[in-house]
Amino acid sequence: MDSDTKDLKDVEGGEGAEYMYGATLLQVAELQRSSSFVGKDENLKATDDRRRSRKISGTNSLEVASRNALENSVSAYQFTHSFWDPQISAQRREYLKIILRAMILTIILTWTCLPIYFGSMATSASRVGNLEVWYVNRDEARIGNNLLATVEGAIGKPGTLGWKVVNASDAGDDDAVRNAVIGETVWAVIVANENATLNLANARINGNDSYDPTTCITFYYAQARNEVASANFLVPSINSFLLNFTTMFSIGSAQRYFASISTANTSSEANPTVNVTAVQMLAQAPQTISPAVLWTTINLKPYTAPAAQAVTLVGQIYLCIFAFIICMAHSTARDLVSPYLSFSSYLSLRLGVPILVYVPLSVNYALVSIAFNLPFGGSGTDYTHGTAFLLFIVTIFLGMCALGLALEAMVTVLTTKFVPFFLVLLIIVNISTAALPPELQPEIYSYATGFPFWNIQQAVRTLLFGTNSHIPKNAAVLIAWTVLSFVTLSVFTFLSRKRDVARLASFAAGRNSKGRGGFASTPSYAPTPSSRFGGLVGLPFSRRRPGMGKSKLSDVEMHNVQPSRGGTSNTRSPSRSLKGVKTPDQWSIHSEPVDKLKNSMMADDTDVSIRDA
């Protein structure tokens, strides 16, 4: 009583007000707890009476004085300082450390991740030779042979496509050529159609006005295989190549034909005779002279929905971010129950809950895609609209499992402070291979076929546009990632739990060896539902850092923690604290008798908010 009275007198004036800040808060917490039992169960009333009888006399006056001291202490330090005020140097130092650490780690991440992405795009133009294109000569006359000579002249030149001459007998009919393109055996096929030269000659002689120059050559490709490669490299290169050929051939063909229908006079070469009938035929079919030869482009798998890029490329980044949000929320939520759970229950929680959450997320992701008219089961696909939509949901779900469980595993090792850096790395490594096909990237990026983003987008292309199906392989890769995350998450969780148990045993042994109390019955570190730490209450490693905002202590924590007046604190102190103010990390831990701890743990779930000075 004398000590408490003296403390309260010190609070009302002088430097003792600052020193008594932590002690006053503890007294207020004790008073709040002791006065909050009204209306509780009958079994707790007797305990409440006994605890209240041991309180110091003059409760009302003590409570008023404590509250006044608290208000004075808070008002003395809250909302009154400039950033460079020496009195908050400790807090400023911690603030700058956090900012500088984040900046340095981000710079390291920049030099680690961005080169991966830039490197995937930097040499794509010089690798167009990896896009294989067949040339099939079915004409075997002037048009086909001239085009063959042009193709052979382009083979091996830098910056040109990967031309390959294929015999007509080996290439097969038109259906075989189409299947070669759709089946991704080749990127494109150029065919000089049968009798192309003969049809042009007959049209000129007979004046066939129905002659179509585009029937001479056919160009097959599948845009939906990769719309970026098709639009930027494949189609422009082939169109430029065919335009140059047809222009030069038409000029040369016209010169040869005009020379053939005009005959020089025997007496004078300056007065030739012209075949009037041939000229009249040309007038009826001028397209046989210009352009004479053109080509037809057949897009076997058109990319008909530009909104699909939101799913095949950028949307996968969103998918990863959604999984990260769930990972962070689950990391916070499970800390509230993890101290109560056995290892098997805790592991089941970590593995099962995210998977259950991914189901509604995947369904809603797919519903948003339907709202923007993505062509599930469109023309050219092997699936109906409903089947393609259900398979799309399954694909998104497997993708979230592959990405989300990887984050769940790594948050155990990296903690919530550093797992965002792993998120950036995961996104960059995956997205670097999803935009362009492996043929246009350095060989090191061939890992794409074993990573989630590539397999998700490949499966989605099949469901939307009917490209060559790799769905069994895509699903197998995503499932393999999920299984791998199951294994790593289980191992990391086991090691984490083993570490916590070892720390707990070491802490208990140290307390018992010093004669500071034992754990024969209910241990003082037992968590309570009112705990906001989500860890083992009373252990040194569950402390919050000093001066980092608001801390909330449960009844057990308030009961077991008192400010240290003298001696050495058993926890780390800040390098510099406010004058005379004892921060939570400077409080010492007292061991109480087991019976008193039991009563304390059964007390009302009352929290007291403490603002660190």
Residue 161 has pLDDT above 80, yes or no: yes
Phi-psi region of 506 (alpha: psi -120 to 50; beta: other; left: phi over 0): alpha
Sequence-distant (6+) residues with CB within 8 A of 34 are 48, 51, 52, 55, 59
Binned at pLDDT 50, 70 and 90, residue 525 comes out as: very low
Strands 132-137 and 188-192: parallel
Closest by CA to 217, choosing from 317, 117, 292, 127, is 292
**Residue 533 above 80 pLDDT?**
no
Q: Which residues pair with 133 in a beta bridge?
A: 163, 188
Length of the chain, in residues: 613
d(C-alpha 184, C-alpha 394), whole Å? 25
Instruction: Confirm if 375 and 311 have CB atoms less than 8 A apart.
Output: no
Residue 505's pLDDT is 86
Is pLDDT at 11 greater than 60 in this prediction?
A: no
- Report the 10 Å Cβ neighbour count for 72: 16
pLDDT band at 102 (very low <50, low <70, confident <90, very high): very high
**Phi/psi of residue 43, nearest 5 degrees:** -65, -25
Position with higher pLDDT, 489 vs 513: 489
Q: Which of 87-96, 553-562, 571-580 has the highest mean pLDDT?
A: 87-96
Query: What is the phi/psi pair of residue 473, to 5°?
Result: -70, -40
378-387, 426-435, 596-605, range with greatest mean pLDDT: 426-435
- Under the banding of pLDDT at 50, 70 and 90, the label for residue 413 is very high
Flag whether pLDDT at 195 surpasses 50: yes
Compute the average pLDDT of residues 515-529.
Answer: 42
Max intra-chain CA distance, the chain: 144
The confidence band for 274, taking pLDDT boundaries of 50, 70 and 90, is confident
Q: At 318, is the pLDDT very low, low, confident or very high (cuts 50, 70, 90)? A: very high
Mean pLDDT of 347-371: 94
Rounded to whole angstroms, how far apart are CA atoms 358 and 356? 5
- CA 211, distance to chain mean position in Å, is 55
Question: Measured in whole angstroms, how far is the alpha carbon of residue 578 from the centre of its chain?
Answer: 42
At residue 377 the predicted structure's pLDDT band, cuts being 50, 70 and 90, is: confident
What mean pLDDT do residues 436-453 have? 93
- Across all residues in the chain, what is the average pLDDT? 77
In sequence order, what are the residues at sequence separation of 6 or more whose Cβ sits closer than 8 angstroms to the Cβ of residue 318? Answer: none
Structure-block tokens of residue 226: 């990769």
Alpha helix segments (H runs only) across 432-470: 452-465
Mean pLDDT of 486-512: 88
Ranked by mean pLDDT, which of 9-18, 61-70, 430-439, 537-546 comes out on top? Answer: 430-439
Residues 6+ apart with CB under 8 A from 572: 585
Query: Any idea which residue has 């546009």 for tokens?
Result: 465
Q: Which residues contact 281 (CB under 8 A, 6 or more apart)?
A: 204, 205, 206, 207
> CA-to-CA distance for 461 and 475, rounded, in angstroms?
14
DSSP 8-state assignment for residue 112: H
3-state secondary structure of 525: coil
The Cα angle at residue 290 between residues 289 and 294, in degrees rounded to 5:
110
Query: Is-contact 211 447, C-beta < 8 A?
Result: no
Q: State the pLDDT confidence band at 269, using cuts at 50, 70 and 90.
A: low
Torsion sign (Cα): 118, 122, 125, 129: negative
Write phi, then psi, for 612 (nearest 5 degrees).
Answer: -70, 135
pLDDT over 70 percentage in the chain: 69
Q: What is the DSSP string of 502-527?
A: HHHHHHHHHHHHTTS---SSS-TT--
Average pLDDT value for residue range 256-282: 73
- Tell me how far the alpha carbon of residue 571 is from its chain's centroid: 38
Give the Cα separation of 304 and 289 in Å (integer): 36
For the chain, helix (H) and strand (E) counts, in that order, are: 21, 11
Count Cβ atoms within 10 A of the Cβ of residue 432 and give its class: 0-12 exposed, 13-18 middle, 19 or more buried. buried
| 5 pLDDT more than 90 | no
Query: Which residue would you say has higher pLDDT here, 427 or 514?
Result: 427
For the ranges 86-90, 456-460, 513-517, which has the lowest average pLDDT? 513-517
DSSP character at residue 313: I
User: Per-residue pLDDT averaged across 541-567, rounded?
Assistant: 40
pLDDT band at 19 (very low <50, low <70, confident <90, very high): very low
pLDDT of 382-393, one tens digit each?
A: 888 899 999 999
Coil, strand or helix: which one is 603?
A: coil
Percent of the chain exceeding pLDDT 90 equals: 53
Q: Which two tokens stand for residue 528?
A: 């309570």
pLDDT at 211 over 90: yes
Kindly state the average pLDDT of the residues 295-303.
94
The residues spanned by each domain of the chain are 2-83+547-598, 84-121, 125-299, 307-501
Predicted local distance difference test score (pLDDT) of residue 224: 92
Which of 50 and 250 is assigned the larger pLDDT?
250
Give the C-alpha separation, 331 to 326, whole Å. Answer: 8
Query: Buried b vs exposed e over 135-162: b needs ≥16 C-beta within 10 Å?
Result: bbbbbebbbbebbbebbeebeeeeebbb
Query: What's residue 279's pLDDT?
Result: 84
End-to-end CA distance of the chain: 27
pLDDT recorded at residue 153: 92
CATH code for the domain defined by 125-299: 3.40.1710
Tokens read off for 559:
């009961």
Ranked by mean pLDDT, which of 12-16, 62-66, 365-369, 568-572 comes out on top? 365-369
Over the stretch 42-71, which tens digit does the pLDDT of each residue have?
A: 445 555 555 555 554 445 566 666 666 666
> What does the pLDDT average to over 516-538?
39
Could you tell me which residues come within 8 angstroms of residue 316 by beta carbon, excluding any fewer than 6 positions away?
Answer: 399, 430, 431, 434, 452, 453, 456, 457
pLDDT greater than 60 at residue 159: yes
Contact 542, 533 (CB under 8 A): yes
Residue 407 clears pLDDT 50, i.e. is over it: yes
- If you average pLDDT over residues 422-440, what whole number do you get? 93
Bridge-based pairing state of the strands 217-221 and 273-274: unpaired
Six token digits for residue 523: 């241990």
Q: Which of 445, 414, 441, 420 is nearest to 430 (CA)?
A: 445
The answer to whether residues 189 and 167 touch, using CB atoms and an 8 Å cutoff, is no
The per-residue pLDDT for 61 is: 61
Q: How far is CA 611 from the centre of its chain?
A: 36
For residue 207, give both structure tokens.
């004046």
pLDDT at 280: 85
What is the spatial distance between Cα 437 and Cα 461, in angstroms, rounded to a whole number? 13
Most confident of 118-127, 369-378, 597-606: 118-127
The Cα–Cα gap between 570 and 585 comes to: 9
Mean pLDDT score, 443-449: 92
Residue 588, judged by CB atoms within 10 A of its CB (0-12, 13-18, 19+), counts as: middle
Q: What is the pLDDT of residue 549?
A: 40
Residue 33 three-state SS: helix
From 264-268, 366-370, 392-396, 480-484, the region with the lowest mean pLDDT? 264-268
